[in-house]
A and B are shown apart, each in its own frame.
Chain A
Amino acid sequence: KAGVTQTPRYLIKTRGQQVTLSCSPISGHRSVSWYQQTPGQGLQFLFEYFSETQRNKGNFPGRFSGRQFSNSRSEMNVSTLELGDSALYLCASSWGRTGPIYEQYFGPGTRLTVT
């Protein structure tokens, strides 16, 4: 069974640019959550999507947005990048048709560097 995949794995952008990250959940999973990990702030919840609807959102500015497609794949977008957006972005998938609904499986992450 394939795990959670994230693309790209590494990204370097310049301040002011925008970026789109992609996450493909485990087959059958309908929930995708996004987290930002930085040395200073730790792991912080960005948002969660279930069946193409955003169900929960963390305390991040509107520059951070996301969406989910009908095949459960999700993208997150960050506009007008700032140096502080440099982080490891992790997505987690859960809520399959079988198995425990509470298990969350994390992808390998996308390392974003803003210069």
Chain B
Amino acid sequence: ELKVEQNPLFLSMQEGKNYTIYCNYSTTSDRLYWYRQDPGKSLESLFVLLSNGAVKQEGRLMASLDTKARLSTLHITAAVHDLSATYFCAVAQGAQKLVFGQGTRLTINP
């Protein structure tokens, strides 16, 4: 059974700092997703990573994938308050089924 674990689950950081969210998964997969969710809202797609060594960047967020280690990271650079949200990683199991991590609740303080 595929398991996806994120850490940390809660992260409080100051604006301007850097930090990394980790996503480990237990069995091989060909796709890994990162989503953002604001309170009471739906999931917003951030990145889809397809291959070992894949790196994608959008603004202050950068995601990478190491399929051999079954590890993905979401790195936040020089955090700003607008990035406060819950971040989920999800791993594809089969065609369209996603198995989600627990989510990391990120709070960025001025």
Chain A interface (Cβ < 8 Å from any Cβ of B): 31, 33, 35, 42-45, 48, 50, 55-56, 58, 90, 92, 94-95, 100, 102-109
Contacts and interface: CB of A to CB of B under 8 A. Distances in A.
B100 A94 contact: no
Interface string B25-56: 00000010101000001111100101000000
A51 to B, nearest CB: 12
B99 A45 contact: yes
Interface stretch (B13-21, B61-69, B77-85, B88-96): B88-96
Nearest to B30: A102
Contact of A50 (B96, B100, B101): B96
Given A33-B96, A48-B95, A102-B92, A90 B43 contact: yes
A56 B102 contact: no
Nearest to B43: A106
Task: Choose among B31, B35, B48, B98 the residue with the greatest number of A CB atoms under 10 Å from its CB.
Answer: B98
B47 to A, nearest CB: 11
Contacts of A31: 95-96
A56 B48 CA distance: 21
Contacts of A43: 88, 90, 98, 100, 103
When A and B form their complex, which 9 residue pairs have the shortest distance between CB atoms, in order from nearest? A43-B100, A106-B43, A48-B96, A106-B42, A108-B42, A56-B97, A109-B42, A31-B96, A45-B97
